[in-house]
Chain A
Amino acid sequence: MTDAILDYIPIGVMLILALLIPFVILFIVKQITPRNPARFKNTTYEGGKDPIGGAQVRFNVSYYLLAIVFVLFDVEILFLYPWASCYKNPEVLGVFPAFTSVALFEMTLFILLLLVGYVYAWKKGAFIWMR
């Protein structure tokens, strides 16, 4: 057996352990827990009050739109953070002196394109909660 495969043995052991442990714990819990079922103990826990209505409610479609717009800005931050952290990096500037202007131009373009989508969602009423 080559060294490369031997290196993976700890991971294999870990994998087997990870697969086994949940079943072991469930088995132990089942053996030692005292069980005393009652009607109110089995109902849904809703902050201590009596549960109201069914569990499967239909969500307002506005949640979905809001989630999409959230992802839009989440991705924007995701790109902006590494961009900002290397914007004036001396190592990059040493290789590529025009980096700041190019990077600024590209990020402006990116934000402008996102802004088009944002304005569109806004004007279409994605942020009006009740209608």
Chain B
Amino acid sequence: MVDYTALAPVGILVVTAAVVLLAGLVVSQKKILGYITLVGLLVSLGLVLANWNIHVIFDGAPFYGAIVVDPFAQIFNAMFLTVGVLVCIASLKAYGDHPRQDEFYSLMLLATVGMMVVAISKDMLTLFIGFELASMATYAMAGFDKKDPKSIEAALKYFLIGGLSSSLIVFGMSYIYGLTGATHIDAIAAAFAATPGLASTPAALLAITMLIAGFGFKMAFVPFHMWAPDTYEGAPSIVSALLAAGSKKMGFAAAFRIFIVGLVAMKVDWYIAFTILAVLTMTVGNILAVVQTSVKRMLAYSSIAHAGYIAIVFVIVSYYPAPDVAVAHAIAGGLMHAFSHALGKAGAFIAVAAIGYMILSKDGKVDDPNHIDNYDGLGKRAPITAFLFALLLCSLAGIPPLFGFTSKFVLFLASIEAGLLGLAIICVLNSALSVYYYAKVVMRMYWGEPKGEAFIESPTYTFALAIAVIVLIVLFAMPFVTPGDSVYIWAETAAKAVLPALEV
């Protein structure tokens, strides 16, 4: 009998989703469903954190190697579950009285399950199924405020582009299958390594281009980013948190699994293409973020810029013909930055939700509650929310003592270590540019003229924000307090797990 305990975190979420859906039919007090969801997510998160260092390969009968629970999968699982917990706490407030909240919670749980399946799969087919499960659930969530035309617009754009990206991914996968006769990622890598000329055939180039474009849509790389600002702006803020922090990182989980193993095996020069993609993504994201007047849209563009930073992992991997210490450091940096960005961005979108809620309930009808003018003097009107939001923005900008600094430092250092000094300089310049628009929001909050009296701050939203900030500070402090047990060790173990041939 196969030991399924490593899959318990995923199983718990599936059961919770079913329980929430069925309980929603019978209970009259629907608020309890949010707490059931929270318990399920926390138990699952606890199991993932307790077993972060396991390496279980299900190569036996039911899965045949398609499912692998390794530190790489666990770091992404922890990321998705933490984001899930934050979004769940925020939605206790945002959808506490909503008549269809059972659907919201079960969709959110199923989206998290899909993301976790992507993280643990090592076969293109299971990966795609997880990808679609998460996508389908998030399409519906983006349009959850169905009376709001902006939410519908967001959902429609997200659905159309998501459908296009899924079809590109499947098309690329089918070409790869046609070339190698395998869907398992290791088998594909072995097939490419065995036949050196195979990777430069037109079919292989076409397949990889389609995979990059397909996953690029999900990760919002420029020029595949057009949907992201509209969707993040139009969707309900807490759903934007899940999209930017969870769904996007799922794209990275899939792309890391496929491209890192694939690029090492293929030995074809994708270095230039990935450099252009990464530099374009971070620069366009940052420059467009500067000119935004809506804070939510600014966060959306900054999320594109952060995707660009993480994309330098692909540059470094494709730059090296053989895996090397620098590659492991780069992947560790990429994982850490994905983690810090997930926490920071989820927190920032929840803060936007909290501020929007306060403005709408106090100031009455305003055209756009997310407009920067409404953030004037928020430091006096809502001191706790403003302070936590400012800290989250600092983490996104990469200012210590927050985890965003550590992750950016490790990532850019890996780029220098790999000998890509020019790329590192572009990253640092971009990072400096990004401080401007984060600081602009902080400045308006603390030095702007207050437009009205003080708000009553919602304790639920504040609690979610406080958790995000505390986790970011703890992760920053961990290397100094317990050097042998920090998140960097986890990230590096994960990097080694995803690069099996690595001798460090």
Contact = CB atoms under 8 A, between A and B. Distances in A.
A120 interface: yes
Contact of B21 (A98, A102, A106, A120): A120
B98 to A, nearest CB: 15
A108 to B, nearest CB: 14
Interface string B14-51: 10001001100100000000000000000000000000
A39 B499 CA distance: 75
A98 B60 CA distance: 12
Nearest to B21: A120
A123 interface: yes
Contacts of B14: 113
A96 B25 contact: no
Contact of B22 (A96, A98, A106, A119): A119
A96 B61 CA distance: 8
Given A113-B18, A116-B18, A123 B61 contact: no
A116 B22 CA distance: 7
A113 B61 CA distance: 22
B62 interface: yes
A96 B21 CA distance: 36
B25 A123 contact: yes
B21 A116 contact: yes
B25 A120 contact: yes
Contacts of A106: 62
B22 A102 contact: no
Interface in B209-254: none
Contacts of B61: 96, 98-99, 102
Interface string A91-123: 000001011001000100000010011011001
Contacts of B62: 102, 106
B60 to A, nearest CB: 9
Most chain B beta-carbon contacts within 10 A, residue among A98, A116, A119, A124:
A116
A80 B22 CA distance: 25
Contacts of A96: 61
A120 B100 CA distance: 13
A102 B60 CA distance: 12
B67 to A, nearest CB: 14
A123 B23 CA distance: 11
A96 B18 CA distance: 31
Contacts of B18: 113, 116
Contacts of B1: 98
B17 to A, nearest CB: 9
A124 B26 CA distance: 11
A119 B21 CA distance: 10
Nearest to A95: B61
A119 B22 CA distance: 8
A119 B24 CA distance: 12
Contacts of A124: 25
Contacts of B21: 116-117, 120
Nearest to A99: B61
B36 to A, nearest CB: 15
Contacts of A102: 61-62
B16 to A, nearest CB: 12
Interface string A38-54: 00000000000000000
Nearest to A122: B25
A123 B10 CA distance: 27
Nearest to B1: A98
Nearest to B102: A120
B64 to A, nearest CB: 11
10 contacts: A96-B61, A98-B1, A102-B62, A106-B62, A113-B18, A116-B22, A120-B21, A120-B22, A120-B25, A124-B25
Among all A-B residue pairs, the 8 with the closest Cβ atoms: A123-B25, A116-B18, A120-B21, A96-B61, A102-B62, A116-B21, A116-B22, A102-B61
Interface of A: 96, 98-99, 102, 106, 113, 116-117, 119-120, 123-124
Given A99-B61, A113-B18, A124-B25, 16 more contacts: A96-B61, A98-B61, A102-B61, A102-B62, A106-B62, A113-B14, A116-B18, A116-B21, A116-B22, A117-B21, A119-B22, A119-B25, A120-B21, A120-B22, A120-B25, A123-B25
